[in-house]
Amino acid sequence: MEKIRIGIVVSEFNYDITMMMLQRATEYANFLSVDVHKVFRVPGTFDMPLAIKKLLKMDDIDGVVTLGAVIKGETDHHKVIMDNAARKITDLSLEYEKPVALGISGSGESRLQAEARIEMAKDAVESCVKMVKSLRSL
């Protein structure tokens, strides 16, 4: 079977958390013998859709993993960020017929909850890989 090649889009907002997520994701991809072909860093979760679209357009990318942490602040801004990102991520996956795994924790979580969810990055890689394999078998 042809090797699976993924892209990862990671938010730099909440850098201490998201860079640990990126480390877990790349380590797990290596464990699964998946090629992390491109890593695209964006300022925040809201900025992800354009980067995802650029990756999905590439012939050498089979799927995309998104990584971020949307932590609740003093307002409901986190809801706007997460709702719009999740909706657009789904839309892009359908438009390009390639999986885009949601590895963004939140919304409404505290910093402690975000730290506890760093390992979610591995789940997002696994989800993307399973979808690529399923789609290839059709």
Whose CA is closest to 69, among 77, 56, 78, 60?
78
77 among known catalytic residues: yes
Task: Enumerate residues 6+ apart whose C-beta is below 8 A from 13.
Answer: 43, 44, 45, 68, 69
Residue 42 β-bridge partners: 11
Distance of CA 133 to the CA centre of its chain: 18
Whose CA is closest to 22, among 89, 70, 68?
68
Whose CA is closest to 67, among 111, 4, 7, 134?
7
Q: State the catalytic residue, choosing from 16, 57, 77, 111.
A: 77
Please list the active-site residues.
77
